[in-house]
Amino acid sequence: MLITRRMFGQASVAATLFAGFPSLAIAQAEGALPPKSPLGIAGTGLSAHLRGLDGVAKGLRDDPVAFLEYVRSLGGGGVQIAVPKDRSRFKARLEALDMYYEGQAALPSRRDGDFAPFEASIKAAAELGATCVRAVSRSPEGGTGRRYETFKSPGDWYSWLSEANAIIEKCVPIAEKYRVAIALENHKDRTVHEHVALLKRIDSEYLGSLIDPGNNMSFMEMPEETVAALSPWVKACSLKDMGVAPYKDGFLLSEVLFDTGMTDQAKLFALMRKSNPKIFPTTELITRDPLKVPVLTDGYHVSFADRRTRVATWLKMVAARQTRLPTVEGLSAQQQLALEEDNTRKVFAWGLKAIKA
């Protein structure tokens, strides 16, 4: 019996959201499949769906093919995830759905660590036709990944930076071996100029940047500054519009629906594509509460040498451009998942209008 969308909608919220998630097969059978957007999505942009909901449904993390089909059911044109197993099946579905693929690879946490898992990820990405893998430098154990929350002295910071840069140097020959570039994200760790200095020093075709226009706003660096500096090395991106608002210790920073925040993602992506015409417009709108960036506290500045001079001008900008920011606090897990799905659909629809394939 053909399951109609009306029958599907009459099921409980849990069944609708979690029984394998909205079905690509049903959408295709009913002629309700959204047109394919040029935008794809990083797994982190659908993190709640990857995790799933305890007692209701298993997440999609362990089934990359199901994740791929789910993204296409929402209108997505590609994915950025790791595919640790069942790669032949994944590749077949990727080709059948005519979607693009970018890999992910976890960098080792120590320069004397085990590089075999990283190499396995690079090899897998090559088998799937990826030209790059997203990578981030690992935070020290117990750290949040945010520089201003993790490091308690300049010495802590410089020790981490030396180790993190050495790890990348050891990874680059592996990337060169498989001809898959490491797209190193500006991940609230290095300032944009520290990131550029690393890319210049190593100077390999197989090490570049994954530009996240929003991340370095937590360092009081404007998205236009970040994109302009990193674009010569761009291999991938994490498109996200950003909203800001003041709070007592500094400012709030949040991903928001495209064209509702303070950044022009279409313009920023055009600048990236001018440097690298082959990059894909991957999005990473994370559905979560706003991030608190405490630039008015002494602790924020411990690992920086030069941020205090930016505070007054930055907070003046925040006051002038503040918007009401979305939150998930108080929502049930089901409601959070529904909101994440709705946000993702809207971002893909935006891509159809704003980004050329």
Give me the residue spans of the domains in the chain.
Answer: 23-242+256-287+332-352
Please count the helices (runs of H) and the strands (runs of E) in the chain: 14, 13
Do residues 226 and 272 touch, judged by C-beta distance below 8 A? no
Tens of pLDDT, residue by residue, the chain (357 residues):
233 333 333 333 333 433 445 678 777 878 779 999 999 999 999 999 998 877 666 788 889 999 999 999 999 999 999 999 889 999 999 999 999 999 999 999 999 999 999 999 999 999 999 999 999 999 998 889 999 999 999 999 999 999 999 999 999 999 999 999 999 999 999 999 999 999 999 999 999 999 999 999 999 999 999 999 999 999 999 999 999 999 999 999 999 999 999 999 999 999 999 999 999 999 999 999 999 999 999 999 999 999 999 999 999 999 999 999 999 999 988 889 889 999 999 999 999 999 987
Rounded-to-integer distance, Cα 218 and Cα 74, Å: 30
Half-sphere exposure of 75 toward its Cβ, with a 13 Å CA cutoff? 20
Closest CA to 107 of 71, 81, 141, 133: 133
Q: State whether CATH 3.20.20.150 applies to domain 23-242+256-287+332-352.
A: yes
pLDDT digits (tens, 9 = 90+) for 76-98: 999 999 999 889 999 999 999 99
pLDDT digits (tens, 9 = 90+) for 271-310: 999 999 999 999 999 999 999 999 999 999 999 999 999 9
